[in-house]
Amino acid sequence: MEQFELFQKFVLVSFTIAFFWKLIRHMLSFVNMEKEPVRVLITGAAGQIGYAIVPMIARGVMLGPDQPVILHMLDIEPAAEALNGVKMELIDAAFPLLKGVVATTDAVEACKEVNIAVMVGGFPRKEGMERKDVMSKNVSIYKAQASALEKHAAPDCKVLVVANPANTNALILKEFAPSIPEKNITCLTRLDHNRALGQISERLKVQVSDVSNVIIWGNHSSTQYPDVNHAKVTTSSGEKPVRELVADDQWLNTEFISTVQQRGAAIIKARKLSSALSAASAACDHINNWVLGTPKGTWVSMGVYSDGSYGIERGLIYSFPVTCEKGEWSIVQGLKINEFSRAKMDATAKELIEEKALAYSCLG
């Protein structure tokens, strides 16, 4: 009798072990299951920024080291051969996360089912051109691309406009893609944000990763306001305000601001070409934080649709400090704004209102 009971126990234990082992293997199969690829559109993909950003995306810089991607690259007909060359290089690089490449001059084909759209392509201002001429060209470009996104992109597509004038191009895109939620259309001011972090890092001789919570208010132009009043530095003795550590309000209120505002022009003067590597990196940072979230206690700068926060006119695409969680951004509320900051924030808002009026006159 005892032997039979022992045998029963042995069988029960064996079945229990087998059941749990099967369950564990089943669970591990889910853990190891590859994610569905995310389709990422890059317009102007044969250009400098496009050439810099596509390997970053394919390597996981934008969406993480375990997220497969399919790249959709769009450019104009005269750039078709160069675009095909970029596709060839992507194939030759054998990126494990890259599950497909679409290279086309057809906006409809490029926009089909994309989850993320990075709008790099635009018409640059050339010598002798008036602002309205440039705006008119970009209104035409963004009207056509907005229509293609509206009809063919995934319903939850997230859009980042990089091409200048970025804020107003984003506004035009929103106008002609009304089914895309206003919270899903943004513009790039992360490059300016990163430039501000870099300047503070250089000034204090600290790691840039230890500097946080700078703010870029307003337009991605020379009227932008880089604000360090709420910025902090992580030190061995805890977090310290940037103003306290720099201890030079004159520099922070003048040279620091103008350096960040004019950094793009300084790079053009040095390289004879506009920012590409840093712009591509900033675009990846923007999407990465938007999709995967911002670290607790920190914020980043994004050009987003104004809801009237901080007295900024509703309906402008204006750069605010934001936090991101679960694929959604939220404007940081309750920050104290002094008179100096108020004047700077209003000045850049005024420029955006003027740009909006100019863009709408081109539509008319």
Residues assigned a catalytic role: 220
Residue 46 labelled as part of a binding site: yes
Please check if 195 is assigned to a binding site.
yes
DSSP conformation class of 218: B
49 marked as part of a ligand binding site: yes
Annotated binding residue 125? yes
Residue 226, H or E segment: strand 225-227
Which H or E element spans position 212? strand 211-212
With H, G, I as helix, E, B as strand and everything else as coil, classify residue 7: helix
342 marked as part of a ligand binding site: no
Residue 117 known to bind ligand: no
Q: What is each CA distance from 184 to 99, 137, 205, 329, in whole angstroms?
A: 25, 24, 37, 9
146 labelled binding-site residue: no
243 is in an annotated binding site: no
Provide the 10 A C-beta neighbour count for residue 234: 14
Residue with tokens 């944000």: 193
Q: Residue 159: helix, strand or coil by DSSP?
A: strand
Nearest to 286 by CA among 212, 183, 190: 190
271 annotated among ligand-binding-site residues? no
Cα–Cα distance measured from residue 220 to residue 168, given in angstroms and rounded to the nearest whole number: 10
364 labelled ligand-binding: no
* Residues forming a β-bridge with 70: 39, 100
Q: Please indicate if the annotation marks 138 as binding a ligand.
A: yes
Look up residue 124 and give its DSSP letter.
Answer: P
The values of phi and psi at residue 60, to 5°, are: 100, 10
Question: Which residues on neighbouring strands pair with residue 199, listed in sequence order?
Answer: none
Is 45 part of any known ligand binding site?
yes
DSSP string, 166-207: HHHHHHHHHHT-TTS-GGGEEE--HHHHHHHHHHHHHHHT--
> Is 347 marked as a binding-site residue?
no
The Cα–Cα gap between 216 and 321 comes to 7
Binding region for NAD(+): 44-50, 75, 138, 162-164
Binding region: 44-50, 75, 125, 131, 138, 162-164, 195
Binding region for substrate: 125, 131, 164, 195
